[in-house]
Amino acid sequence: MDVQRWLASAVAAVGEWQDGFGPFQPDPSMGVSDERFASVFGAFTQRLRNNYPFFHPSYAGQMLKPPHPAAVVGYLTAMLINPNNHALDGGPATGEMEKEVVAQLAGMFGLDSHLGHLTTSGTIANLEALYVARELHPGRGIAYSAEAHYTHARMCGVLGVEGTPVETDAAGRIDLGALDALLAGGRIGTVVATAGTTGLGAIDPVHEVLAVARRHGVRVHVDAAYGGFFTLLAGLDGRAGLDEAPWRAIAGCDSVVVDPHKHGLQPYGCGAILFRDPEVGRFYLHDSPYTYFTSGELHLGEISLECSRAGAAAAALWLTLQLLPLAPDGLGAVLAAGRRAALDWAALISQSGRLQLYQAPELDIVCYFPGPVSGTLSGIDDASVRILKAGMEREQPVFLSTLRVTAAGMSERHPEVRADRDGARILRSVLMKPEAEGYVGELHARVERLAAEAAD
């Protein structure tokens, strides 16, 4: 896709639409000459060079990559109009697009009914889920695993709800026995299952969490902000295929969050919350004397906590999903390549004398540490940080991230490592670009070289 060509088409298409409204005199107060713009733009693009190359497979660090070119063109085209999806008064076209993509997301999870909308982030989407949890079970708390995203505890604080972390098992998944015991106490109204944890990419057994929760009359919210689109690989044959059970169980849970700005190829500003019971819309009832006047149909602001939201985000997602639909051979193919890359790298690390796998990857996150297993936590921490730094300074760089693990977590997986402190940073790579699959050999060679140097 030639982005330059389609960006020019975007400006032309919006200009043609604008011309239909007749001429008017632009105000000189906002006038900027091309010469002046050129000088400021030069400085601006220069400053943007101070970035990590998220687009390149040598960037194997955090959950970051540029959006699909179609999403860029979709976003910028709609942004020239700048619709606001709060209400159909502010963004009739993009409001309709949002309803359509939300229905597609609900279909991906197999929900047979839904109420939902896009949000600016996974954090806000989860906040909405926890808000509804509080309204449905006033006075009862929310449980989530100790590996859940940190914002669950924070948002419990914001909502004035008691949040309780539940210990995890040796694979980083919520411990079902501990959950069962906690729910038996009757204090919890909703449990959050994470389908793809941020640190390790572990999948809480949503089907088993659901069974335990229902036994105690407790609701289940699924935080699939990072992992949700992997649903497309559930039950598939081949190496990238995933066990169906946790993914299919999402359809029976009460709410689910998925972030198109993570694995949905979108620019930032695009999360989504879906509730299975449309009746929860009653908790959003409010009076807005200045909106909701052009249509009797549902305005998205009537069912969301946020007011203004970029209609451009819905436009970008709508355009992207027309081209790469929510199907195994659409967007699924992109995720499958990252998953195979993670499996390939894990296999290489398992055979390496320089690197150790912290645990087998479940999705596309690989966690590993330098040195022989007989090392100490402080030695692992020190070498991990040195590799992270040295990797970025090389002529042929490699960009990784670190993950802080506890001494208990390490000893469950690698009892030989001596716990001379309470935890250590290890190395973590999210292989979310499909190009990672063809680059894993190179990545591994670079990180092994760095590990060899760190050991000297």
Q: Which residues bind ligand PLP (CB under 6 A)?
A: 63, 121-123, 126, 149, 151, 194, 198, 223, 225-226, 259, 271
Q: What is the number of helices (H) and of strands (E) in the chain? A: 15, 11
Joined together, the tokens standing for residue 105 give 């997301």
CB of 148 to ligand PLP, least distance (A): 7
CA 370 to chain centre: 27
Q: Which residue is nearest to ligand PLP (CB)?
A: 122
DSSP 197: -
CA angle (157, 161, 162) in 5-degree steps:
90
Residues β-bridged to residue 426: 403
| Residues, the chain | 456
CB of 416 to ligand PLP, least distance (A): 30
Of the two residues 115 and 203, which places its CB atom closer to ligand PLP in the complex? 203
CB of 368 to ligand PLP, least distance (A): 19
CB of 346 to ligand PLP, least distance (A): 20
Closest by CA position to 431, among listed 170, 230, 245, 147: 230
CB of 121 to ligand PLP, least distance (A): 3
Of the two residues 223 and 364, which places its CB atom closer to ligand PLP in the complex? 223
Contact by Cβ (8 Å): 242, 235: yes
- Grouping H, G, I as helix, E, B as strand and the rest as coil, residue 242 is strand
CB of 305 to ligand PLP, least distance (A): 14
Of the two residues 232 and 273, which places its CB atom closer to ligand PLP in the complex? 273
Closest by CA position to 339, among listed 196, 152, 172: 196
Of the two residues 302 and 362, which places its CB atom closer to ligand PLP in the complex? 362
Of the two residues 261 and 425, which places its CB atom closer to ligand PLP in the complex? 261
CB of 108 to ligand PLP, least distance (A): 17
Pairing of strands 271-275, 115-119: antiparallel
| Distance (Å, whole) CA 5 – CA 30 | 27
Distances in Å between the Cα of 398 and the Cα atoms of 51, 58, 223, 309, 451 are: 14, 5, 30, 36, 12
Of the two residues 172 and 375, which places its CB atom closer to ligand PLP in the complex? 172
Of the two residues 123 and 168, which places its CB atom closer to ligand PLP in the complex? 123
